[in-house]
Amino acid sequence: MTTALRRWPVLVALCIAALFMVLPFLIVLMNAIKSPAEYSQHGPLSMPHGLYLDGLKDFWQRVDYGQKLFNSVLISGSVAILAALLSILNAYAIGIGRIKGRTWVLAFFVLANMLPQEALVYPVYYLAKEVGLYDTRLSVIIVFTVIQAAFGTYLLSSVLGQFPREIIEAAKIDGATTWQVLWRIVVPVSRPTLGVLMVFFFIWTWNEFLLPLVMLISNDNQTVSVALGVLQGQRLMDATMTNAAALLGVLPALVFFLVFQRTLTRGIAVGAVK
């Protein structure tokens, strides 16, 4: 009885917090299905009077959204897989192999992670131009694989640093090579963490704007988040279509999150128990 009473304020606070989180999405949804005239007459907070899907349809056709979706999945998917692979290889050397000077290596990775992307724009542009990768999706995949792997290495290294050494010793006594220890022992045991990392890498890369904007010039190569920028005019904005575009832009990431939600909670729970 008393515990229930004590829980009340927490519940109310959580409800309010949830409302604040959901409210922007609701406003986007409301305006995405309004006609421009309706928006101008009644403002952004009015209820839509009917279903107006032309904004969604027009945007889809105008930017060839299917192609953009494919590009984004291609780039984010490749980055998620490659960066996770690179992270585990690095972290294996640092966390379990305990190479010399690992503190410094880790410090370097953290530093690389803190570097603002604006600082990377010009160097990356020139390098890509030199090797002929400017305006290819591969260039963005390489850049983000490295950026995400820097964070992944940092995180996985500390996770693997706590790895029970008895298991590894046992395997070594049974005659396992370093390579076999990695693939047969370390990777399977830390799979939940790897899963979480991949989901994060995917969503982070999906939402990247600046580097894809600079590196992907042709419309055929552009990602979803860059396509959303097409609607930002010089002086005017098309509010309803921008909302429609935002809705289309956020949906795939949302679906992806829901699909992998179990992986996420499992990964976090594993960390909590240990």
Partner 1 sequence: MFTARRRVVASALILTGSLLLTSCGNSDSESSDGKTLTLWHYEGSDSAMGIAWNEAIKEFKATHPGVTVKFEAKGFEQIQKTASMVLNSSDAPDIMEYNKGNATAGLLSKQGLLTDLTAEATKRGWDKKLSAGVKTTSQYDSNGVMGSGKWYGVPNYAEYTMAFYNKDMFKKYGIAEPTTYDELTAAMDKFVAKGITPLANAGAEYMAQQYLYQLALSKADRTWVDKYELYKGKNDFHDAAWTYAANTFADWVKKGYIAKTSSGTKAEDAGVSWIQGKSPILFSGSWWYGRFESEAKFDWDSGLFPGSNLTLGSGGNLWVVPKGAKNKNLAYDFIDITMSKKIQNLLGNKGGVPVAADASAITDPKTKTLISNYNTLSSRDGLAFYPDWPVAGFYDTLVSETQKLITGSEKPDAYLDNLQKAYDKGVPQQ
Span of 19-27, 100-108, 124-132, 245-253 interacting with partner 1 by CB under 8 A: 124-132
Q: Among 198, 213, 199, 210, which Cα is nearest to 68's?
A: 213
Could you say whether residue 40 binds partner 1 (CB under 8 A)? yes
* Interacting residue with partner 1 among 33, 94, 106, 141 (CB under 8 A): 141
Could you say whether residue 263 binds partner 1 (CB under 8 A)? no
Could you say whether residue 21 binds partner 1 (CB under 8 A)? no
CB 247 within 8 A of CB 52: no
C-beta closer to partner 1: residue 30 or 74: 74
Span of 17-25, 34-42, 95-103, 153-161 interacting with partner 1 by CB under 8 A: 34-42
CB 135 within 8 A of CB 66: no
- Binding residues for partner 1, rule CB under 8 A, total 45
Spell 239-263 as b/e; 16+ CB within 10 A means b.
Answer: bbbbbbbbbbbbebbeebeeebeeb
Q: Residues 142-181: x/- map of binding to partner 1 (CB under 8 A)? A: ----------------------------------------
Find the shortest distance in angstroms from Cβ 154 to partner 1: 23
How far apart CA 144 and CA 152 sit, in angstroms, is: 12
**Both tokens assigned to 273:** 């128990």
The dihedral over CA atoms of 120, 122, 128, 131, expressed in degrees to the nearest 10, equals -120
C-beta closer to partner 1: residue 125 or 204: 125
Could you say whether residue 53 binds partner 1 (CB under 8 A)? no
CB 165 within 8 A of CB 95: no
How far apart CA 58 and CA 47 sit, in angstroms, is: 22
Enumerate binding residues for partner 1 (CB under 8 A): 36-37, 39-43, 62-63, 74-75, 77-78, 81-82, 125, 129, 132-138, 141, 188, 213-214, 217-221, 226, 229-239
